[in-house]
Amino acid sequence: MTATRPALVAIGDLHGHLELFERLLERIDREVPDARIVTLGDYIDNGPQIPALLDRLIALQAERPGRFFPILGNHDLALLRALGWPGDVPDRTWYARWSERYWNPGLGTANAYGAHDLASFAAAFPAQHRRFLSDLPWSFDDGEIFCVHAGLDVGPIAPQRAALERKTLPAEPSFMPDALRDKSRATRHDPSWERVVVSSHTHLPGHAIFSAPRRVCLSATSDHGGGLLAVQFPERRCWWTNGGEATEVRFPAASASG
């Protein structure tokens, strides 16, 4: 980090867990009040407070311009694809894929809005929530830290960043961009990267954090009862909460060279 740049804090997958997010935010605001905050995507599905969380994220964007940077996750993109993004005609194939593969039992996003099928969900999902998700960037880059939901491939960052900035979808309509969905990228890193690449998305059994010189991945466990993680840069200081006050913790990180 440069001497004048505020610290950056990245927060893992939220999945409708507003209370966990608030506990982390309280600790961060108390200890690093000028921090820039990046949320790493997956705001919907599998949690109890999806509409309220989206309302809170929208409010934070207005309250903290230049300090709050939410990016898109694969669950968020699946919702948008079900609603027809980048067009506006709802897509039954994507709705079926989303509801069958992305939702924990009883915790689908449609249920959170009182909907039971694609037509009722398309009618019930608020325009401001759809606009928030569709406007989200697919990555965050401040020149030193590069945040993306799932991770990058080895090799130069620039062309991968360009594809994310263009919001490039795979040629196969049912596929997701690898940078947003490929779990094998959780521990993939390249010592030649000119940024530290930061993601969440993937549960890392036995580890809360994967850490390498140019790579950090926060284990994504909020939708499986494992709490919520945040990491501050450049110190790689970590906080965790599972409903109580967020605590600073030192998790054993996966060792890596390079």
Mean pLDDT for back-to-back runs of 10 residues, the chain (258 residues): 80 98 98 97 98 98 97 98 97 98 95 97 98 98 98 98 98 97 97 98 90 96 94 95 92 47
How high is the pLDDT of residue 4? 77
- Phi and psi of 165, rounded to 5°? -65, -35
How high is the pLDDT of residue 207? 82
How high is the pLDDT of residue 45? 98
How high is the pLDDT of residue 251? 55
* Whole-number Å distance between alpha carbons of 199 and 185: 9
- For 124, the token pair is 């019930």
Class in CATH terms, 8-249: alpha beta
| CA–CA distances in Å: residue 252 to residues 95, 208, 210, 213, 225 | 39, 7, 9, 15, 20
Cβ atoms of 94 and 77 within 8 Å: the answer is no
How high is the pLDDT of residue 254? 46
How high is the pLDDT of residue 170? 97
| CA–CA distances in Å: residue 71 to residues 27, 192, 198 | 21, 24, 12
Cβ atoms of 14 and 50 within 8 Å: the answer is no
Beta-strand ranges (E) seen in 34-144 are 36-39, 68-70, 139-141
Pairing of strands 68-70, 36-39: parallel
How high is the pLDDT of residue 205? 85
SS3 127: helix
Q: What residues pair up with 233 in beta bridges, in sequence order?
A: 8
Q: Give me the residue spans of the domains in the chain.
A: 8-249
Which H helix or E strand runs over 75?
A: helix 74-82
Return the sign of the alpha-carbon dihedral for residues 215, 218, 219, 220. negative
Q: What is the largest CA-CA distance in the chain?
A: 52
How high is the pLDDT of residue 147? 99
Beta-strand ranges (E) seen in the chain are 8-11, 36-39, 68-70, 139-141, 145-148, 196-199, 209-212, 215-218, 228-233, 237-241, 247-249
